């Protein structure tokens, strides 16, 4: 039987000193709203509401576990979500979504975040793909600065675990910000085998599919590589679980070597290694590679040489018989 969908809080609902304006997004683990505080300042509010464990019925604000059995799991996830909110609230970094407040209400937990204006990297990819693709300078700029924030996250003993273009926001001034952490979701599903793991195929590292393999900064690094891959290819790489059975992932240089530097394409290839040990092990390693000057795209120079030779051959006088 399909899991019933949770009802969002109604527009105009008063949640402490915040007024709900509209629904921004809804997933299997949480609901995100646009709201305004008492000074009419816009904020994004994330509500802990896992569909598989709890339900809010129409016209009712309070959240209830769907069974006594699910109550313990719901409370465990709520604790993970609350702890994640506390950790994020301590992180003050321009490339990490700012958590302003977090509190309990309606038998669940709410995380209040700065509302960012701009568009997601996913939207940027959709706009650019089919033409010239996302420019290499933009890729290097976005990910170098984003990794500054991710490094701060890792220093606070937290993992993101859901790095993908839809969770990377580009502000109007061009600076990136990392949204929607998934570590609480992962903690809930890792410790309880009967729950369906929550990750994004293509962007999730192979160790996120396994309950035995240790996760670490290298797990987020896979997501960074997959996100850079999507900027170039226009789509996510082959899902890691499928790759472990039959790896069909081609090196990007085979198709895009004429448009992007070999250094960038090789960095992405390293980040997407199935074996965690073969990936860069820390954020500074990737940043160093992103800062290195890019060589001209390999095939573009060879193509130019081919065209030059063809032009010379056309202009040389032919031997008379």
Three-state DSSP state, 26: strand
Q: What is the pLDDT of residue 142?
A: 96
CA distance 297 to 116: 35
Distance of CA 120 to the CA centre of its chain: 10
DSSP 34-70: EEE-TT--EEEEEEE--TTTEE--TT----EESSHHH
CA atoms within 13 A of residue 31's CA, in its CB half-sphere: 22
Q: What is the pLDDT of residue 319?
A: 47
Answer yes or no: are the C-beta atoms of 85 and 99 closer than 8 Å. Answer: yes
Q: What is the pTM of this model?
A: 0.84
Encoded tokens for 141: 């700029």
Report the CATH number of the 21-114 domain: 3.30.200.20
Answer yes or no: are the C-beta atoms of 256 and 232 closer than 8 Å. Answer: yes
For 59, counting Cβ atoms within 10 Å of its Cβ (0-12 exposed, 13-18 middle, 19+ buried), the class is: exposed
Q: What is the pLDDT of residue 292?
A: 83
Q: What is the pLDDT of residue 159?
A: 87
Q: How far apart are the first and last CA of the chain?
A: 84
Encoded tokens for 19: 């007024």
Q: What is the pLDDT of residue 88?
A: 87
Kindly list the domain boundaries of the chain, sorted by start residue: 21-114, 119-301
φ, ψ of residue 215 in degrees (nearest 5): -105, 155
Q: Please list the pLDDT of the chain residue by residue as tens digits (321 residues).
A: 445 578 899 999 999 999 999 999 888 888 999 999 999 999 999 999 988 889 998 888 999 999 988 898 899 888 888 888 888 888 999 999 999 999 999 999 999 999 988 999 999 999 887 667 799 999 999 999 999 999 999 998 888 889 999 999 999 999 999 988 876 666 665 555 555 556 789 999 999 888 777 889 999 999 999 999 999 999 999 999 999 999 999 999 999 999 999 999 999 999 999 999 999 999 999 999 999 888 888 644 444 444 444 444 544 454 443
CA distance 91 to 267: 28
Three-state DSSP state, 118: strand
Q: What is the pLDDT of residue 301?
A: 43
Homologous superfamily (CATH) of 119-301 is Transferase(Phosphotransferase) domain 1 (1.10.510.10)
Strands, DSSP E only, in the chain? 14-15, 18-26, 30-36, 42-48, 54-55, 64-65, 99-105, 108-114, 118-120, 168-171, 176-178
Q: What is the pLDDT of residue 196?
A: 54
Q: What is the pLDDT of residue 23?
A: 95
Q: Residue for token digits 């273009």? A: 165
């Amino acid at each position: 039987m399909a899991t019933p969908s949770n009802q969002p809080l109604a527009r105009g609902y008063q949640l402490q000193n915040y007024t709900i304006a509209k629904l921004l997004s809804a997933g299997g683990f949480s609901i995100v709203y646009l709201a305004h505080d008492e000074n009419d300042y816009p904020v994004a509010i994330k509500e802990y509401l896992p569909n598989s464990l709890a339900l809010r019925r129409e016209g009712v604000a309070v959240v209830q576990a769907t069974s006594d059995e699910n109550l313990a799991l719901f409370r465990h996830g709520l604790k993970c979500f609350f702890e994640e909110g506390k950790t994020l609230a301590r992180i003050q970094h321009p490339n990490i979504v700012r958590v302003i407040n977090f509190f309990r209400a309606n038998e669940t937990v709410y995380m209040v975040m700065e509302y960012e204006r701009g568009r997601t990297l996913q939207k940027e990819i959709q706009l650019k793909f089919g033409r010239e693709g996302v420019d290499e300078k933009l890729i290097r700029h976005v990910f170098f600065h984003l990794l500054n924030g991710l490094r701060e996250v890792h220093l606070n003993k937290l993992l993101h675990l859901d790095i993908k273009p839809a969770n990377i926001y580009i502000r109007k001034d061009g600076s990136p910000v990392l949204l929607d952490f998934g570590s609480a979701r992962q903690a809930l599903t890792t410790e309880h085998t009967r729950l369906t793991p929550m990750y994004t195929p293509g962007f999730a590292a192979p160790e996120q599919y396994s309950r035995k393999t240790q996760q670490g900064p290298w797990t987020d690094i896979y997501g960074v590589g997959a996100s850079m891959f999507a900027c170039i290819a226009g789509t996510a790489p082959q899902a890691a679980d499928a790759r472990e059975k039959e790896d069909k992932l081609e090196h990007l240089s085979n198709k895009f070597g004429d448009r992007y530097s070999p250094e960038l394409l090789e960095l992405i290839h390293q980040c997407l290694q199935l074996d965690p040990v073969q990936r860069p092990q820390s954020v500074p390693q990737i940043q160093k590679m992103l800062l290195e000057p890019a060589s001209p795209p390999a095939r573009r120079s060879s193509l130019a040489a081919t065209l030059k030779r063809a032009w010379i051959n056309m202009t040389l006088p032919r031997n008379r018989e």
